[in-house]
Structure 1
Amino acid sequence: MKPFLIPLAICSGLVTGMAHAASTAELTVSGLITPMACTPVLSAGGLVDFGKISQKDLNQATATRLPLKTLTLTVSCNAPGRYALRMRDNRDGTAHVNSEIYYGLGLDTAGNKLGVYSVKFDPKQTVADTFPVTYGTESTTGGVAWRTSNTNPIDIGSRSLLGFTDVVGSTAGPSAIQNLTSTLTLEAVINAKQNLDLSVDTLMDGSATLEVVYL
């Protein structure tokens, strides 16, 4: 038996060393705490009320677009700084259209998806500090790359960043801004009536959180 003891001991040592090397990983936690603080405020407390809608006014086989609604957003910061906006759906999973720019309106009593809404920012209706002209830009890469800035309206998304700059044609992202005011347009769409149970009063229950992301 002795001739086997040394080879076994060497083999065991090699396995132990390899296991030790493969079973460790280094974790690094980083970040930057900034004194910058911004407060977003929506007009009317952020409430958009379409009132009572008769099910007779809804399309049977196609979606029904409701009248456009507008809100005013103000973002006030304690100092100029670079930031962007994004919106989180508090009714995630209730939108009947799969896209990051559409947010759910809740479910009917049978669990069917009631509809969607979107929120559009228009740089032409946006005032930022003393910028002579405000341009919009967005990033789908978490701020790594930015779309060329222009005055085209932008639908805010749940996975994209939306920002503003005073430089046209720029891919550098948002400029430093302290005070911003923008008119938002909300468009709501109700699912086709044939897909819903509207035999009882059905509450449109959309809810989202607008977030300031510091860059």
Structure 2
Amino acid sequence: MKKSVLSLSLVASLAGTHAIASTTEMTVTGTITPYACTPTLSNNGVIDYGPIHAQTLDNFQLPDRTLTLSISCGAEAPISLIATDNRSGTASTTGDIHFGMGTYQSMPIGRYSMAFQNAQVDGQQRGALESLDGGATWKASNNVLMRDSTTAQDFRLAFGNTTPQPTTLLSATMRIQGSINKDLPFTDDIDLDGSSTIEIKYL
């Protein structure tokens, strides 16, 4: 969470005509924090494909899945989102929109992407916005793909018309699209092991 530290020192000296001059110092310190916002994902953030037979997949593409992202803020606040791939470097396709599923016998298992189109922001539908410069400028898009903050450090996702709309309650559908590495040896059971962290960034 972004923190702003406020530090102020006050020094005062008072002396009477015949008094000995003296000084005393008072220090005022504190921390100003933004309004707390809490994110939650439906199904505890778990996408479980269950047992998968590789031969039944169309071009090794996994079925699309969705989760609902909900954000509650203690007071109206302008926010954005980033995502960090906890399996960074294991995606079977290069590019910061692809998140990894771990490895099997040193081979990438697959990859997945996370996309947003719009959201309900305090009861009003708002489109998805993306920034590639840390929130300095914003671009509206019909489909914003999250980017791994490990490599795309200045990427931000938000919701609004042209700029992020401050919110107290936000609800958005996240679509997950995944695929399996076709070069895997499909002779053993292989566990998908994708993991990523979504973080709120205050603007």
Aligned to 2:115: 120
Q: Of residues 171, 176, 184 in structure 1, which corresponds to 2:174?
A: 184
Q: Distance in 2 between matches of 1:102 and 1:70?
A: 16
Gaps of 5+ in 1: 1-29
Gaps of 5+ in 2: 5-31
In the alignment, structure 1 residue 129 sits paired with structure 2 residue 122: yes
Structure 1 residue 85: Cα displacement: 0.6
In the alignment, structure 1 residue 50 sits paired with structure 2 residue 36: no
Checking the alignment, whether the CA contact within 8 Å between 2:54 and 2:60 is kept in structure 1 is no
The structure richer in helix per residue is: 1
Q: What amino acid is aligned across from residue 65 of structure 1 in structure 2? A: Q
Percentage of identical aligned residues: 35
TM-score, normalised relative to structure 1: 0.74
Q: What amino acid is aligned across from residue 49 of structure 2 in structure 1? A: F
Q: What amino acid is aligned across from residue 128 of structure 1 in structure 2? A: V
The structure richer in strand per residue is: 2
Structure 1 residue 58: Cα displacement: 4.9
Q: Distance in 1 between matches of 2:64 and 2:123?
A: 29
Q: Distance in 2 between matches of 1:40 and 1:188?
A: 23
Q: Distance in 1 between matches of 2:130 and 2:55?
A: 39
Q: Distance in 2 between matches of 1:42 and 1:198?
A: 32
Structure 2 counterpart SS, 1:136: strand
CA deviation profile, 1:174-213 (whole Å, cap 9, x unmatched): 1211110111111111111xx2123211100000001101
CA deviation profile, 1:75-94 (whole Å, cap 9, x unmatched): 00101111101110000010
Q: Of residues 191, 195, 199 in structure 2, which corresponds to 1:207?
A: 195
TM-score, normalised relative to structure 2: 0.78
Q: Distance in 2 between matches of 1:58 and 1:41?
A: 30
| CA root-mean-square deviation | 1.7
Count residues in correspondence.
Answer: 170
CA deviation profile, 1:123-147 (whole Å, cap 9, x unmatched): 1xx211032x312211111112211
In the alignment, structure 1 residue 64 sits paired with structure 2 residue 69: no
Structure 1 residue 122: Cα displacement: 1.6
Q: Which of these two proteins has the greater Rg computed from alpha carbons?
A: 1
